[in-house]
Copies of this chain bind each other. A is one copy, B any other.
């Protein structure tokens, strides 16, 4: 049995002897002292788990639709050695952050060596594969903003909720007021996701330090909300009945006023942006287009294509009058990764339809990345500098 003396020492004594001398390094996404997963010089990843009595161990990867998971399409069989360690080395991985998990005799289980990251509707293992020559999301010796964890009570849901709010460097020492970007995660993720796996704060710190982005507040929240007393309604896709997501009402009715009353914001539409990834991109288009009195800057990162998108009729006709829209909306930004073909093509189609209708918009394609955070980090890096100009 472990006791407190052992516990006192474990984290200070990582498994020094186990590290192979092959140029591989522990992933930066591991917990303190964990040697696996390891990143190999060719960008492949070696996973390992000890499971002496298991019959079958596999690696699960976060493949979504036709998007490459970055690690290959799971589940991938792992191989057992005579000491009970199951190992797998992937193909050279797409750079960036990849969700993963082990499947031990059929049970999805996190890797105890990994930090956990909220995704896939649960806390999930994740591995960070560096991109050579790219440092826009690395910690650097520049002034850093804070991520503030803030409680607020939602009357709509009847629950305490948390917002994660990035305040830019210098916020505390100045009396300035700042514009606000509302930045939303994808399906199965939550309030922690953009700052943790997305590194939103670090990306903004670097952009602001280089003078590329205006200092801004970034408000992140959980994109799910259940109205008090809500009852399930028939599913639009024919599945089991669903409880409607009241996030739009919480954002418009509660979060914006909480942020404006808590932080030194410039509380008007010209200084308020919204962007989101995947489900959050879809929410962003829906919410901003139907509340153009509140938002002037719009970013859709890898939103799933809208069925039957039509410039004249979608979003209650918000786009129908191109001149009026162009006058009102300062930025409409649409992006996707080239390794998520269906979403990329949907985004490109929307961009072309908007162009054809004379609606100003920016289209961004992230080369070689899929429905994953490397696409969205790059999206934020391209999107944020365009804001509040």
Contact = CB atoms under 8 A, between A and B. Distances in A.
Interface of A: 1-5, 7-13, 16, 31-33, 49-56, 63-65, 104-110, 112-116, 118, 120-123, 139, 141, 144, 146-151, 153, 160, 172, 186-188, 190, 195, 222, 224, 226, 232, 235, 237, 239-245, 262-263, 278-279, 282, 304, 371
A10 B144 CA distance: 35
Contacts of A188: 7, 10-11
A214 B139 CA distance: 35
Contacts of A186: 4, 7
List the 3 closest A-B pairs by CB distance, nearest first. Answer: A7-B187, A109-B109, A53-B106
Contact of A148 (B146, B160, B235): B146
> How many protomers of this protein does the assembly include?
2
A187 B150 contact: no
Given A12-B244, A50-B107, A64-B2, A121 B31 contact: yes
A32 B160 CA distance: 13
Contacts of A144: 150-151
A245 B50 CA distance: 28
Nearest to A225: B12
A107 B106 contact: no
Given A64-B4, A122-B112, A13 B278 contact: no
Contacts of A16: 232
B104 A245 contact: no
A112 B123 CA distance: 7
Given A1-B63, A146-B148, A242-B12, A105 B141 contact: no
Given A7-B278, A53-B105, A139-B151, 17 more contacts: A4-B65, A4-B278, A7-B64, A7-B187, A8-B187, A13-B240, A33-B121, A51-B105, A54-B107, A110-B123, A112-B122, A115-B123, A123-B123, A144-B151, A146-B148, A146-B149, A146-B150
